[in-house]
Structure 1
Amino acid sequence: MPHEIPYAFSCVFLAAVVRGLSGFGFALLTVISLSFVLPPATIVPAMFVLEVVAGLHLVPSIWRDIHWRSIAVMVGTAIVFTPVGVYCLATVPVAPMRLVLAGLIFITALVLMAGIQMKRMPTLAQTAATGATAGILNGAFGIGGPPIIVFFLGSPLALQAGRASIIATFLAMDMAGLPALFAFGLFGRDSVRLAVISLPALVAGLWLGARLAGRMSEAVARRVVLAVLMGMAMATAAQGLFPAWKGG
């Protein structure tokens, strides 16, 4: 629909600004906001492509700060479990998936608000479990972010290393998830069109977010991101409870 194009452009732009500010949140915000007008099966493949583009340009600057030991285990298990999520995307009704997504985003925001911090790095089993959960979520919603964000930002790693590891994990998972989307026939014409239309908005939003990050304190930026996530979680829950709402 003609009115969906400027709406999609705006959603991607604002989510990219948030990504530039915080280092995460792009897929969460785009999938939720675009689901008001488009089905998840169209949004998720397009967001996979945009996340890959966003991650690739950041890799050179974060390479030395990545916690490779955790990522190797996490990404490995995520790759194995991503097809399970893609199967859910292709077969499970939209409304219950939105309720699950809303709950996960809400819980993630609460955990981050509480500022929970672990004294030691998680065990091998905990890291693998985080990767498996993230893989399922990434395949089903295009957002494996919640468990990964909690894992790294709640770990004893320095903030810079945590952010770098989050970005690297997202990139690896998204690149690994693309073949599964093709295998299930979800990468259709509408998804390709959405990705192409949204690319300029992604680039512009990332640039603006990076500029704002230099002028805004980290504490303020995080509060803004968490407030947006909470609002989006409630809106997504409303869509799941009232499927007749546009986009259901």
Structure 2
Amino acid sequence: MAATVLVIDVASPSFALAVAAALLAGLVRGFSGFGAAMILIPVLAALYGPRLAVPVLLLVDIVLTVPMVVGAVRRCAWGEVLPLVAGFVVALPFGVYVLLVADPTVLTRAMAVVVLLVAAAMALGLRRRSAPGRLASVATGGVSGLLGGSIGIGGPPVILFWLSGQDPAARTRANIIAFFGVTGVVALIGFLLAGIMTADVLVLTALLMPAYALGLWAGARAFGRTADGFYRRAALAIITAIGLSTLAFA
């Protein structure tokens, strides 16, 4: 662990921006089951650097989404979730390697373009008519692991995978939350082994937790009052925003 600890002026405009981003990220995550990285990572990366932004989001999310994950575990379809988790686990080390030694700009832009194309196809009504094959599930999880380890935004492949199916909103959201719950722990272990979880990460995580927790609570309450059709439209809007913002800031 690093010998020096990050000093943050909590009265500064930059910290206020970080708190606002954490609140909004929690709200989106609580409602949709995903999307926090789109909001929080670009802001934290601009203020404190990408090597701090990615693990801070991971840690704050793991700690505060335990109640969501526990509920999702009871409602998700593990037969769909586990193959994606397997692909994620295999690919994650390669993503972490990219984070440590390479400039992932090209990968980021490619992901954004693919996300926008798939989201556009889904908005036009293209959906899966049958359950996906095991190989397709593992491959989707692998792409998620590569992107999650390298740029901290591994959700779009998995989210589009489930949104393109026929499951009701509650099952789709539960699958997404369960997947991120399991893979978040796996990613945390990978970051610990890579030496990325420093004292600076712990400091910033602790400071942003209250705002993120408030957002999670409000978002979860909003989902409880939402119809299936609105959830799918909102989720597609969020994933499209992820693609656009990623492309803009890459």
Cα deviation for residue 52 of structure 1 reads 1.3
Q: Which runs of 4+ in 1 moved over 6 A?
A: none
Q: Deviations over 1:168-207 (max 9, x none)?
A: 0011111001121122222223322221111101110011
1:90 aligns with 2:89: no
The one-letter amino acid paired with 1:178 is: L
Of 161-170 and 227-236, deviating more is 227-236
Matched, 1:177 2:187: yes
Q: Name the CA distance, whole Å, in 2 between partners of 1:217 and 1:226.
A: 14
Classify 1:35/1:120 alpha carbon distance in 2 versus 1 (closer, same or farther; 3 Å).
same
Q: How does 1:140-219 map to 2 (within 5 A)?
A: 140-214=150-224, 219=229
Gaps of 5+ in 2: 1-7
Q: For the residues of structure 2 that align with 1:6 and 1:93, how far apart are their CA atoms?
A: 29
Where structure 1 has 5 or more consecutive residues not aligned to the other structure, the ranges are 241-248
Structural RMSD (CA): 2.4
1:61 paired with 2:71, answer: yes
Match of 1:128 in 2: 138
Return the alpha-carbon distance in structure 1 between the equivalents of residues 95 and 72 of structure 2. 28
Counterparts in 2 of 1:124 and 1:108: CA distance versus 1, 3 Å = same
- Opposite residue 197 of structure 1, the aligned amino acid is L
Residue 146 of structure 1 deviates from its aligned partner by 0.6
Distance 1:37 1:54 in 2: 23
User: How many residues are paired up?
Assistant: 240
Counterpart check, 1:4 vs 2:17:
no
Q: Distance in 1 between matches of 2:38 and 2:85?
A: 19
Matching residue of 1:26: 36
Q: Is the Cα contact below 8 Å between 1:144 and 1:170 reproduced in 2?
A: no
- CA displacement at 1:69 relative to structure 2: 0.9
Distance in 1 between residues matched to 2:119 and 2:226, nearest whole Å:
20
CA contact (8 A) 1:33 1:232 kept: no
| Aligned-partner Cα distance in 2 for 1:197–1:101 | 31
* TM-score of the two chains, using structure 1 as the length reference: 0.84
Larger displacement relative to structure 2 (144-153 or 111-120) = 111-120
Identity, in percent, stands at 30
Q: 1:41 to 1:82 in 2, by over 3 A?
A: same
Bigger mean CA deviation after superposition, 23-32 or 215-224: 215-224
**Shift in alpha-carbon separation, 1:78–1:118, aligned structure 2, 3 A:** same
